[in-house]
Amino acid sequence: MATLHTANPELGMPGRAGRSILDFGVRHGAPILFSVLLWWVLWWGHTPSVATTDEAMKHVSWIGVIALFYVAWQARAVLSLSHNGVGHSLVGILVSLLPLFVVGYAIVDWVRGGNPLSVFQVIVMAQASLATLIDVVIFTWFSLRLNRMTMANMAEGH
pLDDT, position 107:
93
Q: What is the DSSP letter of 135?
A: I
| pLDDT tens for the chain, residues 1 to 158 | 444 445 555 555 567 766 666 666 666 778 889 999 889 988 886 677 777 777 777 888 888 898 889 888 888 877 776 555 566 667 777 888 899 999 999 999 999 988 888 888 888 899 999 999 988 888 777 777 776 776 666 667 65
Distance, CA of 83 to CA of 100 (rounded, Å)? 26
Residue 103 contacts by C-beta under 8 Å, 6 or more apart in sequence? 38, 42, 125, 128, 129, 132
pLDDT, position 1:
46
Residue 50 contacts by C-beta under 8 Å, 6 or more apart in sequence? 56, 59, 120
